[in-house]
Structure 1
């Protein structure tokens, strides 16, 4: 073979090899998007006190971690398990046992209400953080301090906000006096997202037998649900250490003064209870959201998969669609069994 061709051959082979490699890269298969139309509960292995809020096309989710505040961000609630998770706040040395965080959006800013033990004063109080960023997983969270009724700085947890008649009100679970461990539901008007106006008003206390299982007797985790001309407060009752933790309901007209106890009617029986066959023990501490297309109502709650697991991290977040009764009240049905294939929320 002439010298010229001996020198050209290796270069030709190299060029062919590179061309083949380039072609191989350019035709690499693309994984098609998931076509799964169902999901199963639980959404996460653990997640007590689940909360979700939708802003635009994004759902922001939080639950109790015990030692910090974490926001999960997802476009689809059925894919919460793969959502991006961001630690947005870690307490200083003067707080512990961080419980029941809720994320709200008021007047162009984000607020987180959370419960914490300040290592004094008979235990937990409700605190508020503020963030002016459009995305609550970014920006700076500013501590707005403890929120309490003036002159009544008592044990308090599970703060949430009711908006009615152009005003805002804080709902929470608290003690009547420092020496009483019974948990009652209270409401107070807000002058801004971190300040209450006295006085507080009691809306509910444990009175039925199903509200008094375990010690102490408990009404806690109030959550607001609106439908047609009614406002509902769905709350958790009996102690979380029992399998009989369940949901109760208060009902008022959507135009009523929520500070008047007589405006609220308490349902005499629980509206959501355990389902042992479905591995749902102690279901409660819920929140609500609508499907992506706005046509479906969903309840998000925690439950234990086995009996006797109490108030710990075995409580996992679950969700299911619910309907409305002819009288306008919600019909949650029983907790759906874990592992059951459920249709994803409409629009996902």
Structure 2
């Protein structure tokens, strides 16, 4: 059929427009919405599953460890608010045939030009857990070789022990841990002993604290554990965890002494009769404890890091999440930790990030 000239012209114009439109569609792109990055706040918890958190601060970096159970894992970050972005590197796994199991509460330190990690493990002997230490001479603890320096214990008082940490006072290092008074005694108490080097204790152990108040005796057995050292002004504090971790009432307690006092003298220490950090049920923070401390990058703020469960009855398992929050100081120089911030809160990042 022959088309009239006018109709042929209209069809030709329509085809040109149609082809042009297809070509434009093939080459066009839709710009994505701008990425919104919140540079001022962070969300709690930092890590959904990371019990027994520990942070060591050195040369502009934070080194983070927590209980994994079967190995030692290390995260390195310049910003604690971005801890979840830092890859977790396994730095040590028990070699084949080794008797270590149930590896708990690792802590990393830098002493005398070398790195050390203290951790608790059951060596399949000796009636349960003991504390062990590894050494690494690399400048960066995420590299190099970790050498097993063995068990750190007093040979004449080598009983069940966990949660080793180090105190420096009056130019001397001391080792603190949670242990049993004797083999058949299940109550966990806090002990201290002088160190002759990063892997050797010297002299007798001294008992500094045992569960005595009702808030320290929730669950079985009675527990004082997770001692951590905090210094401020002219005072030295030991912040510890009390009651059994299987309960929602796991909480923080406080021992105080002068920074010039002899830490081996139990009379140097005063125990606060009430807990200093307890659960916040309305904020979904249960069993807060096993803490550590660090400062903001600019050194202007003090921060508490700890674990807590998001629901009641979750106990001592992997549901314990790592959280952090800024704390202040009371007029008498003691720390004021406030209460655990509610799960899901958005909080200001540490100053200087």
Q: TM-score, normalised by structure 1?
A: 0.90
Q: Which residue of 2 aligns with 1:106?
A: 111
Q: Distance in 2 between matches of 1:277 and 1:79?
A: 26
> For 1:151, what is the secondary structure of its paired residue?
helix
Is 1:178 matched up with 2:183? Answer: yes
Q: Which residue of 1 aligns with 2:41?
A: 38
Q: Is the contact made by 1:62 and 1:71 (CA closer than 8 Å) also made in structure 2? A: yes
Q: Distance in 2 between matches of 1:163 and 1:33?
A: 44
Which residues of structure 2 form unaligned runs of 5+? 1-30
> For 2:267, what is the secondary structure of its paired residue?
helix
> For 1:186, what is the secondary structure of its paired residue?
strand
Residue 53 of structure 1 is aligned with which of 48, 56, 63? 56
Q: Deviations over 1:286-316 (max 9, x none)?
A: 0000000000000000000000000000000
Q: Which residue of 2 aligns with 1:330?
A: 335
Q: Distance in 1 between matches of 2:265 and 2:145?
A: 38
Q: Deviations over 1:189-220 (max 9, x none)?
A: 00000000120000000000000000000000
Q: Which residue of 2 aligns with 1:78?
A: 81
Which residues of structure 1 form unaligned runs of 5+? 1-27
Deviation of 1:339 after TM superposition, in Å, equals 1.1
Deviation of 1:45 after TM superposition, in Å, equals 1.1
Residues 2-41 of structure 1 aligned to structure 2 (within 5 Å): 34-41=37-44
Q: Which residue of 1 aligns with 2:94?
A: 91
Q: Which residue of 1 aligns with 2:25?
A: none
Residues 238-277 of structure 1 aligned to structure 2 (within 5 Å): 238-277=243-282
Residues 196-345 of structure 1 aligned to structure 2 (within 5 Å): 196-345=201-350
Aligned length: 321
Q: TM-score, normalised by structure 2?
A: 0.89
Q: Which residue of 1 aligns with 2:120?
A: 115
> For 1:80, what is the secondary structure of its paired residue?
helix
Stretches of 4+ aligned residues off by more than 6 angstroms: none
Is 1:161 matched up with 2:155? Answer: no
Deviation of 1:34 after TM superposition, in Å, equals 3.7
Q: Distance in 2 between matches of 1:167 and 1:184?
A: 23
Larger gyration radius, structure 1 or structure 2: 2
> For 2:244, what is the secondary structure of its paired residue?
coil
Residue 191 of structure 1 is aligned with which of 184, 193, 196? 196
> For 2:84, what is the secondary structure of its paired residue?
helix
Q: Distance in 1 between matches of 2:179 and 2:210?
A: 10
Q: Which residue of 1 aligns with 2:13?
A: none
> For 1:320, what is the secondary structure of its paired residue?
strand
Deviation of 1:185 after TM superposition, in Å, equals 0.1
Q: Distance in 1 between matches of 2:38 and 2:249?
A: 38
Deviation of 1:32 after TM superposition, in Å, equals 7.8
Q: Distance in 2 between matches of 1:211 and 1:36?
A: 40
Is 1:139 matched up with 2:127? Answer: no
RMSD, aligned CA: 1.4
Q: Distance in 1 between matches of 2:36 and 2:298?
A: 20
Q: Is the contact made by 1:150 and 1:198 (CA closer than 8 Å) also made in structure 2? A: no
